Structure 1
């Protein structure tokens, strides 16, 4: 029997990290950890992991985070309109995607 893993967050969804104090947009999803065994430490590798285009004080960066460490970001207004237009395309439903990638 195969275990089906369902990701909580989708491409283009804005999330924030519970501990690392960054927010960003989901740009890729792995159903389980895609690195080497043992690299996650105490974090279970048997959960979805997300690549997040994060926005910080120094600009944008890519973060790789477990589903347990992310939450939906209710403070969408924290992103300025200028930042939104610079980094993302936005569809009619408000989903964000990096300008370099199409919204799926």
Structure 2
């Protein structure tokens, strides 16, 4: 029997990586791993996550640059710094940030 599982984090939430020095805002979530096996095997075995958990798409940043990251739930922690994310795409998806969570822009349409 398959149990439906809710993600620990939500779209718009600012998070940081458990092991690596980057943080970001969640803009999408996959209920389970949805990337290539090549990508998964490129992760060092000692920190390689399980595939049977939510994976989050982040507008991410580190000290040097901004990029898109794909991170397992087990490797994320809530970012409690209160600092905004500087990634240039943030303003295209999100509006204001309140209590560490960005609100989706209301003027976006599919």
- State the TM-score bracket (shorter-chain normalisation): 0.7 to 0.9
Secondary structure at the aligned position of 2:40 is classed as coil
Task: Indicate the residue corresponding to 1:61 in structure 2.
Answer: 67
Task: Indicate the residue corresponding to 1:4 in structure 2.
Answer: 4
Give the CA RMSD over aligned residues: 3.1
Normalized against structure 1, the TM-score is what?
A: 0.74
Please give the residue correspondences for 1:25-104 in structure 2 after superposition, counting only pairs within 5 Å.
25-37=25-37, 39-41=39-41, 42-77=48-83, 79=84, 83=86, 87-88=90-91, 89-90=95-96, 95-96=101-102, 102=108
Distance 1:97 1:53, change over 3 A: farther
Distance 1:75 1:64, change over 3 A: same
Distance 1:3 1:31, change over 3 A: same
In the alignment, structure 1 segments of 5+ residues that lack a partner are none
How many angstroms does 1:35 deviate by? 1.8
C-alpha distance in 2 between matches for 1:7 and 1:95:
15
Normalized against structure 2, the TM-score is what?
A: 0.70
